[in-house]
Amino acid sequence: MADPYYITTAIHYPNGRPHIGHAYEMIAADAIARFQRQAGRDVRFQTGTDEHGLKMVQTARDRGMEVRALADEMSRYFQQMASGLNISCDRFIRTVEPDHYAASQAIWRAMADAGDLYLDRYEGWYSVRDEAFYEEKELIEGEDGTKLSPQGTPVEWTAEETWFFRLSKYQQPLLDHYKANPDFIRPESRRNEILRFVEGGLTDLSVSRTSFDWGVPVPDSPGHVMYVWVDALTNYISGAGYPNDPEEFSKWWPADLHLIGKDIVRFHAVYWPAFLMSAKLPLPDQVFGHGFVLNRGEKMSKSTGNVVDPMQLAELYGVDALRYFLMRDISFGQDGSFSAEAIVTRANADLSNSFGNLAQRTLSFIAKNLGGELPQPGKGNPADNALLEEVRGSCAAFRRAFDDLALSQAVEAWMAGVFACNQYIDAQAPWALRKTDPERMHAVLGTLLRAIRHLGVTIEPVVPASAAKMLDQLGVADRDHASLETEDWYDQLATSGFKIAPPTPIFPRLAIEESEDAP
């Protein structure tokens, strides 16, 4: 049986339509999930929407609609985006679903059984935008003297009777866990931030609300709904069989990777492991806090009006161009900027002019001059062997880096293989060999087909639809990492009578769209 691999994204607040930050997170998680499938892992990939909390209540009120209707409408946009961006999730979870209610109430009961919940009065600051409680000492002062959360969002004074979770009890166990598992929080900068926060002392956490009823009801406590983060974090286990399917649950849990943004690392690396410890459940292997996507260097916000619809970008420039750009141009773990020009420049340089052109030149030459017949393999000229070695090396470097979540470096390493092929094709000039040395021409073309197969299989997680189309043109059926270990496919394909058809270009050259509302 293949080794299970469970990856999740954050679940997104559907109080508005999805933006490019949401798209970025889904695309990164999807690329990792596809990569692990190619590596032979039995992958479960979950994403979804986080539909409870005061922010949803207030947005619905502002729009004059029922909260559930808002959640249904907006969650649909996230689901459409997931399918539009070719996100291969196994489950799109919505926190309004019955199995999620059951799981949230079960973990609540487990925390209560551990003696970690008590009723008291909460008085303090709350940010509806962050759905987070803050201590006085964490607040910053806004331009007009008002108090703001450390994220710069407005806070309001809240006073109500709530259930508390004994977070303070878990300070030392958490510190011990971070020490014993240096890779639990990544990247390093996030880990240091969390260490400082926990070392500074933890106060007990208010985990229920009584001033509204849009949430999962607290068991045996009429009038209380769970604090939205308690139910939101629980999505990771409710989607994986907790508590009613122990077999399924023990297969998937603990998760291998929670992929989230840098602003919510505290919830995932402090509160969530503390809840799990309290409920006597294993902790996830790793929490990775990726950076933010900025619009031409600026933070996106509704008030500045610079929020970009990712589906519009995908329609203008293509899903795979967008995916490739985000994975290649943003160093994973750091913030990065996007603009239409940057997407077009990157996609044209790498995909259209280099990789696409390489495949297009090679396949159309074979279709035209060899009637589509596979070239006869050569005897192994040093230049051919050197190229194959270089391409295999760059694909192996891609795999090593990707496995370590250095996604952008991985793509860069892959690109080195593409460049090597383009240099080779120019140096070997198969078109000139057609008349002078047909045998050598065959060997060069055969070498190129092999190299293109390695490159196509390797980049599949990043540009899945385009890579699949290219591998179809090449007649390559097996697309996992193990298949790259031999070149048997070539002889099998040659004997099967497969013919290379005149190819249609896979990566069209892009131009910047100048339309009125283009980003």
Which residues of this chain interact with ligand ME8, rule CB under 6 A? 10-13, 21-22, 24-25, 50, 232-233, 235, 260-261, 263-264, 292-293, 300
Do 187 and 288 form a contact (C-beta atoms < 8 A)? yes
CB of 24 to ligand ME8, least distance (A): 5
CA distance 63 to 326: 33
Rounded to the nearest angstrom, the gap between the alpha carbon of residue 54 and the centroid of all alpha carbons in its chain is 27
The 3-class secondary structure across 76-99, one letter per residue, is HHHHHHHHHCCCCCCEEEECCCHH
CB of 410 to ligand ME8, least distance (A): 19
Backbone angles phi, psi at 99, to 5 degrees: -65, -25
Task: Kindly state the tokens that stand for 323.
Answer: 């995916």
Nearer to ligand ME8, 12 or 450 (CB): 12
Nearer to ligand ME8, 10 or 202 (CB): 10
CB of 236 to ligand ME8, least distance (A): 7
Nearer to ligand ME8, 174 or 294 (CB): 294
Nearer to ligand ME8, 311 or 421 (CB): 311
Nearer to ligand ME8, 185 or 387 (CB): 185
Provide the 3-class DSSP secondary structure of residue 295.
strand
Contacts of 296-301 with C-beta under 8 Å, sequence gap 24+, read 296/337, 296/338, 296/339, 297/337, 300/19, 300/20, 300/21
CB of 199 to ligand ME8, least distance (A): 24
Phi-psi region of 380 (alpha: psi -120 to 50; beta: other; left: phi over 0): left
User: Which residue is at the shortest CB distance from ligand ME8?
Assistant: 261
CB of 143 to ligand ME8, least distance (A): 22
CB of 183 to ligand ME8, least distance (A): 19
- How many residues are there in the chain? 519
Query: 250: Cβ–Cβ under 8 A, 6 or more apart, which residues?
Result: none
Burial class (CB in 10 A: 0-12, 13-18, 19+), 1: exposed
Q: Which residue has the tokens 């060999």?
A: 433
Alpha helical stretches, state H, 202-252:
228-238, 246-252
CB of 74 to ligand ME8, least distance (A): 10
Nearer to ligand ME8, 50 or 116 (CB): 50
Nearer to ligand ME8, 293 or 358 (CB): 293
CB of 468 to ligand ME8, least distance (A): 27
- CB environment 251-288: b (16+ within 10 A), e (fewer): ebbbbbbbbbbbebbbbbbbbbbbbbbbbebebbebbb
CB of 261 to ligand ME8, least distance (A): 2
26, amino acid identity: M
Nearer to ligand ME8, 204 or 263 (CB): 263
Count of alpha carbons within 13 angstroms of residue 356, beta-carbon side: 20
269, amino acid identity: A
Nearer to ligand ME8, 50 or 256 (CB): 50
What number of other Cβ atoms are within 10 A of residue 496's Cβ? Answer: 10
CB of 262 to ligand ME8, least distance (A): 6
CA distance 91 to 197: 33
Nearer to ligand ME8, 206 or 235 (CB): 235
Nearer to ligand ME8, 197 or 292 (CB): 292
- Among 266, 259, 56, residue whose Cα is nearest residue 149: 266
Backbone angles phi, psi at 470, to 5 degrees: -65, -40
Nearer to ligand ME8, 7 or 264 (CB): 264
CB of 18 to ligand ME8, least distance (A): 8
CB of 217 to ligand ME8, least distance (A): 19
